[in-house]
Amino acid sequence: MIKVFIDLLGWIGAAAYLVAYTLVSTKKLAGDSPIFQGLNVLGGVLLVGNSAYYRVWPSVAVNAAWAGIAVFILGRHLLRRNRFYCFLHKYLN
């Protein structure tokens, strides 16, 4: 039963990557958009779990790096947004 669950998580992760890539390639999303990056984090984390279960270490490394890059971009996006809100709060209050 656990194998079926792990396989399902892997397929969901792969689907998240494909959806993200399709949305950016068709210009429905920007490459630095939070939705695109969130799909990459989701896909990366799920595929890391799947690959680790099957002990496919090169895939674990690539997907961990992929998810890490997406987390970094999301963090940068949030920091920029928070700085903007802090700026507005400081000068409008």
pLDDT tens across 34-76, in order?
999 999 999 999 999 999 999 999 999 999 999 999 999 998 8
Q: How confident is the model at residue 81 (pLDDT cuts 50, 70, 90)?
A: confident
% residues pLDDT > 70 (the chain): 88
Is 80 exceeded by the pLDDT of residue 89?
no
Are the beta carbons of 41 and 74 closer than 8 angstroms?
yes
- 14 burial (CB, 10 Å; 0-12 / 13-18 / 19+) is middle
35 CB contacts (<8 Å, ≥6 apart)?
23, 29
Is 80 exceeded by the pLDDT of residue 91?
no
Question: Would residue 37 be called left, alpha or beta, if left means φ above 0 and alpha means ψ between -120 and 50 degrees?
Answer: alpha
Per-chain mean pLDDT for the chain: 92
Backbone angles phi, psi at 24, to 5 degrees: -75, -40
